[in-house]
């Protein structure tokens, strides 16, 4: 059971700040599950710009979408703001 934390606009899309997710092996599966759950708007936020951190570490520094998710892991999804 992993804890997924949402930041910025993802909070408005999901209507949540965090939730627990079961039965996913890696980030790819988690993202698929969340896209199915929250639809296109969520997918668009993810594509290109959201940073995904597992236990505070960017998946780009681990195994990207193949990064495994273990029990108790905290996955943070964070789209950096570009406005100014």
Q: Are 20 and 71 in contact (CB under 8 A)?
A: no
Binding residues among 26-55 for another protein as defined by CB under 8 A = 44, 47-49, 51, 53
Under the binding rule (CB under 8 A), the answer on residue 17 touching another protein is yes
**56 touching another protein, by CB under 8 A:** yes
Tell me: does residue 61 bind another protein (CB under 8 A). Answer: yes
Tell the smallest beta-carbon distance from residue 60 to another protein (Å): 7
Cα torsion at 30, 44, 50, 17 (round to 10°)?
-70
CA distance 51 to 67: 13
14 interacts with another protein by CB under 8 A: no
């Amino acid at each position: 059971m992993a804890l997924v934390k949402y930041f910025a606009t993802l909070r408005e899309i999901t209507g949540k700040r965090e939730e627990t997710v079961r039965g996913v092996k890696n980030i790819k599966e988690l993202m698929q599950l969340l896209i199915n759950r929250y639809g296109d708007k969520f997918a668009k936020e993810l594509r290109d710009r959201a940073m995904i951190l597992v236990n505070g570490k960017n998946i780009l520094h681990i195994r990207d979408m193949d990064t495994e998710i273990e029990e108790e892991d905290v996955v943070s999804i964070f789209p950096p703001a570009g406005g100014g």
